[in-house]
Amino acid sequence: MRTVIQRVAKASVTVEGKVISSIGHGLLLLLGIVAEDTEEDIDWLVKKVLNLRIFNDESGVMNKSILDIDGESIVVSQFTLHASTKKGNRPSYLKAAKPETAIPLYEKFVHKLELEIGKKVGTGIFGADMKVDLLNDGPVTIIIDTKNKE
């Protein structure tokens, strides 16, 4: 599982001209899933996301988590996070999980995040042509891969 985490002042997801999710201060997570991902990856990643201290404290130091600031979240499925650009100029998406594997894992990730954060998490629509609008705060952008825990 790979995620791009963006600290945002606001974010929204639009499908076919209709805003389906929007948040204020919080996190926008772009989530890519591979066939080898498991619930163990979900548990580890949710814990990591919730406890990342990437929000400013009263001194302006990144020392608070999404839980500490009572922030909001949106999770958007993005298979292109697993693109391989090793050969040629056209990315290959063979590593990305097929929908029958990815959708249940995506839904479990969102559900687990909601349980742990204690509030509704915004989503996109799996497989849809989405327009993601965000105001990156900082900017702060972090990439985490459960297969490469750096």
d(CA 13, CA 29): 12
Question: Any catalytic annotation for residue 80?
Answer: yes
Residue 140 counted as domain residue: yes
Q: Catalytic residue at 6?
A: no
Note the pLDDT of residue 112: 98
For residue 36, the domain's CATH number is 3.50.80.10
Residue 150 in any domain: the answer is: no
Pairs from 55-58 (Cβ < 8 Å, separation ≥ 24)? 55/7
| Structural domain contains residue 65 | yes
Task: Give percent of the chain above pLDDT 70.
Answer: 100
DSSP, collapsed to helix, strand or coil, labels residue 109 as helix
For residue 121, being part of any structural domain is answered with yes
Average pLDDT over residues 129-134: 97
Specify the pLDDT at position 1. 97
Q: What is the pLDDT of residue 142?
A: 97
Residue 15 in domain: yes
Average pLDDT of 33-58? 97
Q: Among residues 3, 6, 55, 79, which one is catalytic? A: 79
Distance (Å, rounded) from C-alpha 61 to C-alpha 135? 20
CB-CB neighbours of 101 under 10 Å: 15
Structural domain span for residue 22 = 2-145
**Mean of pLDDT over the chain:** 96
Contact predicate 97/91, CB 8 Å: no
Q: Where are the beta strands (DSSP E) in the chain?
A: 2-15, 18-23, 26-32, 55-56, 62-64, 72-77, 122-123, 130-145
The residues that bridge with 31 in the sheet, in sequence order, are 3, 77
Task: Give the active site residue among 78, 109, 123, 146.
Answer: 78
Please say whether the beta carbons of 93 and 29 come within 8 A.
Answer: no
User: Which of 19-23, 24-28, 123-127 is predicted least confidently?
Assistant: 123-127
Decide if pLDDT at 150 tops 80. no
Residue 104 falls inside a structural domain? yes
The number of distinct structural domains making up the chain is 1
Closest C-alpha to 108, from 45, 59, 42, 30: 42
Residue 101 lies in a domain: yes
Q: Would you say residue 57 lies in a domain?
A: yes
Task: Please tell me the pTM assigned to this model.
Answer: 0.94
Residue 127 pLDDT level (bands cut at 50, 70, 90)? confident
Q: Are strands 26-32 and 18-23 parallel, antiparallel or unpaired?
A: unpaired
Q: Is the peptide bond before 139 cis (omega within 30 degrees of 0)?
A: yes
- Reply yes or no on whether the pLDDT at 105 is more than 80: yes
What are 36's strand-pairing partners?
none
